[in-house]
Structure 1
């Protein structure tokens, strides 16, 4: 094992730790906002796109 392998291993460990922390924070935010899977995304309906009349009626290009 040379020094580059050692540093590669250290960087992989640091990146894994950072990913774990980011995932934990995301889960906490989802629980606080009520959009997590535990409560069925009770606030999700507030963020659904509402279709407006005429928004999908584009003139055809010829």
Structure 2
């Protein structure tokens, strides 16, 4: 997977984007869409809130 990702990034001339960055992005977008902490944790597979919040890069809506 790593080799394929690196090759794709090179072919598209994209620098500084790691495959793992997509995980951060997806988790942040789930919260922006209004999913709750338990919903996002279930989707992402995180077992603790502290693990999950390492991936969040947005302001979480108050309802959570």
- TM normalised by structure 1 equals 0.33
Structure having greater relative contact order (Cα 8 Å, sep ≥ 6):
2
Larger radius of gyration: 1
Q: Which has the higher helix share?
A: 1
- TM normalised by structure 2 equals 0.32
